[in-house]
Amino acid sequence: MNNKRIFLSLSQQSGFEQEYIQKALDDNWITSGGPNVNDFENVLENYLEVESHVTALNSGTSAIHLALILLGIGAGDEVVCQSLTFSASANPILYQGAIPVFVDSEPETWNICPQSLEVAIEERIKKGKKPKAIIAVHLYGNPYKVDEIHAVAERYEIPVIEDSAEALGSSYKEKKCGTFGTFGIFSFNGNKIITTSSGGALVSNSKKIKEKAIFYATQAKEKAVHYQHSEIGYNYRMSNICAGIGLGQMKILDKNIDSRREMNRFYNEVFKDIEEIKLFQTGNNDFFSNHWLSTVLVEANTNKNISRENLRLAFESKNIESRPIWKPMHLQPVFSDYPYYGSNVAENLFEKGLCLPSGSGLGEDEKDRIKEVIHAFFKKL
C-alpha cells in the first residue's frame, strides 16, 4: 500500500478543461469576461433549474461582497451572519464598514438556528437598528432549515444572502441551494466540489441586478469612451480562462456529487458500530446534501484515549489529512468584539467536530487506508 498523502478535498479533472482553455487561447480571449464566461453562466443557470441570473466572478468572497454592495449595505449597518462558517462569509461585512451580528447553529443541520436568529433580530431592533441582511450558510453542503430561516427573514423583511459556496448541487425540497435567497453565492475554489482554479458566482432572480453586478465587478465603468466613473468599482469578474476550466468541470459535477455521497456512505459503514462517533447525516428527505465534506462528532473517552485530536493525529501519522470543523466566528480574535446571539451549540460542534477526507477521486486503496486507521484507532481489527 502506498503512503501518498490523502487530502481532505482534492479537485478532479474531467479531461474537457483543456479544450475550453485552448479555445480561449485560439480566440485570443485572454482577459476577464468573454465567451467562456457567458457559456459558463448559461450552463450554471440551466443547472439551477429555476429562473436565475448568474454572474461569474473571481471568487466566492467577491460574490458575497457584491451581494452586500447591491443591497446597499454600508458603514455602521448591521448584518446577521451564521457564526459556524469559514471567515469568507463574514469578512465582506467588514469590507463595507458594516457590523457583523453572529448567530449560533442548531444541532440538526449545524447551520443558523431559526430561534436564535429571531432573538438576534428582535434584540438588534430594540437597540435601534434592524439588520439589513442575513448571511446563512449551507455548511459542508448540508442545507440549512430553509423554510424556517426564510420565514423569519420574511417576517422582518430582511433579505437573505445564501452562502452556497460549499453546496453546489445540494437541494432543499428538490429546489437547488443557491436559489432561495435574494442572492445566492457559489465558490469554485480549488477545494470545492468543482473548481475554476479560483472563482465564484453571484445568483439573483433579475437580469437588471445581474447587469448591475457586472458593472460593479468591472470597475463601475459608465458608458463613455473616456472612462467615466460616478461610483466605486471592483475588479471581480471571472477570467475567460478560468471559465473554460469551469465549463470542463461542469461535465463531472454530478459524478463528483455521487462520489462525495458515496464517501459519506463509506463512513457510515465504517463507523456504524463505534459509539463514540456520530457521522453527520441529513435529517430527512427534504434535505439533499452534496456531502462536500463528510464530518463526524467525536465523543471523548479518556479511558480509551479517544478524542477528536487523537483521531486526527492517528490519521496524520498515516499521512491522511483530517481537520477540525470551522472555528466559529464569534470565537475568532478578529471578530470577538461583535455581538453574538445563541448558546454554545456551534462551540460544542467545534470542540468535537472533525472533517474527513471526502475528495471525489478517492479510490479503493485510499478507502482501505482510511478504514485501517479507524479500525486500529478503535481497536476493531
Ligand X SMILES: *Cc1c(COP(=O)(O)O)cnc(C)c1O
Q: Which residues bind ligand X (CB under 6 A)?
A: 59-61, 85-86, 88-89, 137, 163, 165-166, 187, 189, 200
DSSP 7: P
**CB closer to ligand X, 195 vs 369:** 195
**CB closer to ligand X, 59 vs 116:** 59
Please choose, from the candidates 376, 361, 379, the residue with its C-alpha nearest in 3D space to the C-alpha of residue 6: 361
What CA–CA distance (Å, rounded) separates 225 from 267?
A: 59
**CB closer to ligand X, 44 vs 137:** 137
**Nearest distance from residue 238's CB to ligand X, in Å?**
11
Which residue's CB atom is positioned nearest to ligand X? 60
Long-range contacts at 189-192 (CB < 8 A, ≥ 24 apart): 189/59, 189/60, 189/165, 190/11, 191/8, 191/9, 191/10, 191/11, 192/9, 192/165, 192/166, 192/168, 192/292
> Which residues lie closer than 8 Å to 163 by C-beta, 6 or more apart?
60, 64, 82, 85, 89, 135, 136, 137, 138, 185
Q: Dihedrals φ, ψ of 183, to 5°? A: -130, 145
What CA–CA distance (Å, rounded) separates 208 from 331?
A: 39
**CB closer to ligand X, 59 vs 142:** 59
**CB closer to ligand X, 43 vs 88:** 88
**CB closer to ligand X, 326 vs 378:** 326
